[in-house]
A and B are shown apart, each in its own frame.
Chain A
């Protein structure tokens, strides 16, 4: 009985690993930094995680997980509630429709693919938030956020890849 319980807990934790890891990356953005540029540009880690997990393990990262991750991200930040949810859901919809294209493609193509998906999603967020404030937000900040996030993709995807391999080994 106790063994069963342990096994169940282990399976639940494994299933929620992608979400927990994504949450951790989202929190990393808020770590205070004394680097000057960190006050103006921070990468959208959540978006990278959504792209990675929806592409590689859509069974563990469904639309409700994406919604909840966006909700947490919105609540932690000072952006209008719903802005990150819309961004992440946009990435989810785009990646879900492009999965067959990305299968067995080299890393570089997937990296370009991330840029292809992330740029419109981030532009949509910029537009939605600008409409919300009835004021266009600075494009320079957006531009550098996009560049910085795309540059961060290999690192974040490497960590996520390690987690995915661990899951695959354990699932046999």
Chain B
């Protein structure tokens, strides 16, 4: 009887030790995974794309009831504002007709000047539209998952736009779903410039709602309300795409509010500018080094 109890005590001690060892091992595996992730391993990339393809349909199903509720609320809200909106659209339409005729004249002028300068225009731009399936936004990351099945032109690093401007870039490409890093994510670094003064800098996400403008010259004349557009440096984003405007300037921070409402994205536009197929990270890192 006593021997049996001793054996039982020994067994439970061994079991406890094995359990402790297993937990330590799992922590160790998690840290190794992080290190692998840091090296930008292809294996991690492929596993992640595969898992996104497997799990995203579940999120799509979960979206249905949420969409029904928000759709009903939006319907009543829109109904209330329909007259005011109609008046605004009429005014906007009038303005657009004038702007359109001006743009046509400018295009002809531009073509004539380009001919004079022997300017070779870049290849045509191709667009594709994708539906937003899932979104992520907290202290640790800001991203979207988009449905990209059947879109063979989608590539890592491609520009993602909404109606109002740049929202991010393609981070991971899967067969059915792809991941987009938003401009507010900590991994997002975009070469930009102030539209009016052409002062250059880097738009850096920091996982808050408003990204920061960094690496601007100390004596730069920046004002609240200045429009920020892509600078085209590094050759990944073409120049002139609108991103946002300066909303706050203090000693250490220049905060930018994006033109796009990043929490109301239902569809996004992926733009293939047929730019050189280069590694995005390497190019941006180079650009950041140059700015420094």
Interface residues of A (CB under 8 A from B): 23-24, 27-36, 38-42, 44, 63-64, 67, 70, 72, 74-83, 85-86, 89, 92-93, 125-126, 128-129, 132-133, 135, 137-138, 140-142, 144-145
Q: Which B residues lie within 8 Å of A132 (CB)? A: 34, 38
Q: Which B residues lie within 8 Å of A28 (CB)? A: 62
The answer for the CA separation of A83 and B139 in the assembled complex, in Å, is 13
The answer for the CA separation of A141 and B186 in the assembled complex, in Å, is 13
Name 8 interchain pairs, CB-CB below 8 A, sorted by A.
A29-B136, A30-B134, A33-B66, A34-B264, A42-B138, A64-B26, A82-B34, A85-B26
Among B48, B66, B74, B139, point to the contact of A81 (Cβ < 8 A): B48
Q: Which B residues lie within 8 Å of A129 (CB)? A: 140
The reply to whether B135 and A30 form a contact with Cβ atoms under 8 Å apart is: yes
The answer for the CA separation of A39 and B186 in the assembled complex, in Å, is 14
Q: Which A residues lie within 8 Å of B22 (CB)? A: 63
User: 5 other contacts beyond A41-B137, A89-B23, with CB at 8 A cut-off?
Assistant: A31-B59, A82-B37, A83-B140, A125-B140, A126-B140
The size of the chain B interface, using a CB distance under 8 A, is 56
Main secondary structure of the interface of A (DSSP, over half): helix
Q: Which A residues lie within 8 Å of B31 (CB)? A: 82, 86
Residue B105 interfacial (CB < 8 Å): no
The reply to whether A77 and B140 form a contact with Cβ atoms under 8 Å apart is: yes
The reply to whether B30 and A137 form a contact with Cβ atoms under 8 Å apart is: no
The reply to whether A34 and B33 form a contact with Cβ atoms under 8 Å apart is: no
Interface residues of B (CB under 8 A from A): 19, 22-23, 26-27, 29-34, 36-38, 44, 47-48, 51-52, 55, 58-59, 62-63, 66, 70, 74, 132-143, 145, 171, 179, 181, 184-187, 206-209, 262-266
The reply to whether A78 and B143 form a contact with Cβ atoms under 8 Å apart is: yes
Between A and B, how many residue pairs show CB distances below 8 Å? 154
Q: Known contacts A81-B36, A137-B207; decide if A63 and B26 are in contact (CB<8 Å).
A: yes
Q: Which B residues lie within 8 Å of A23 (CB)? A: 58
The reply to whether A89 and B27 form a contact with Cβ atoms under 8 Å apart is: yes
Q: Which B residues lie within 8 Å of A72 (CB)? A: 51, 55
Q: Which residue of A lies closest to B179 (CB)?
A: A78
Among B26, B38, B74, B181, point to the contact of A80 (Cβ < 8 A): B38
Q: Which residue of B lies closest to A67 (CB)?
A: B26
Q: Known contacts A40-B208, A75-B47, A140-B208; decide if A34 and B263 are in contact (CB<8 Å).
A: yes
Q: Which B residues lie within 8 Å of A44 (CB)? A: 138
Q: Known contacts A33-B66, A63-B23; decide if A137 and B48 are in contact (CB<8 Å).
A: no
Q: Which B residues lie within 8 Å of A133 (CB)? A: 186-187
Q: Which A residues lie within 8 Å of B185 (CB)? A: 78
Q: Which residue of A lies closest to B55 (CB)?
A: A76
The answer for the CA separation of A38 and B44 in the assembled complex, in Å, is 28
Quick one: which of A30, A38, A64 has the most chain B CB within 10 A?
A30
The answer for the CA separation of A64 and B63 in the assembled complex, in Å, is 29
Among B62, B66, B74, B139, point to the contact of A137 (Cβ < 8 A): B139
The answer for the CA separation of A90 and B286 in the assembled complex, in Å, is 38
